Amino acid sequence: MSYDFSKYIGLKYKHLGRDFSGVDCFGIVWLIFKGERDITLPDFTTLNYSDALTYKSFTKVKPPYKPFDCPIFLDGHTMTFANHIGVFITGDSFIHIEENTTSMISRLDDYYKSKLYIVIRID
């Protein structure tokens, strides 16, 4: 099955946003899963992403990554807690959004690999 992820590119950043008017990093994941797979994810507004594997429908995966696998990244300053998430659209490209930006596609290059905590698959 082929998916058109282009409608999720260029969305504005909005803290706790969960729709096309604005999203945060988990909001873009939430919106993509709801729109493309009709899956309503539990909300991580009060959880550290390090707790992601406590949900029984989330499984840790290794490469090669598939579309809809979700990379979770460590904080870029202290590297002590997971605080960023995205959605793979290919084996090495993912959609995500950071504060004060718009949603974008990035590659899992050396920069992002150095911050990668885990990749989860949502069943």
pLDDT in tens, the chain (123 residues): 678 899 999 999 999 999 999 999 999 999 999 999 999 887 765 545 555 556 657 889 999 999 999 999 988 777 777 789 999 999 999 999 999 999 999 999 999 999 999 999 987
Length of the chain: 123
H-assigned helices in the chain:
25-37, 110-115
Q: What is the pLDDT of residue 66?
A: 96
pTM: 0.88
Q: What is the pLDDT of residue 112?
A: 94
H-assigned helices in 46-123:
110-115
Distance in angstroms (rounded) separating the CA atoms of residues 25 and 2: 23
Instruction: Show the tokens assigned to 36.
Output: 């493309």
For the chain, list the domains and their CATH numbers: 8-122 (3.90.1720.10)
Q: What is the pLDDT of residue 82?
A: 79
Distance in angstroms (rounded) separating the CA atoms of residues 59 and 48: 17
Distance in angstroms (rounded) separating the CA atoms of residues 58 and 6: 25
In angstroms, the first-to-last Cα distance of the chain is 17
Strand partners, 116: 73
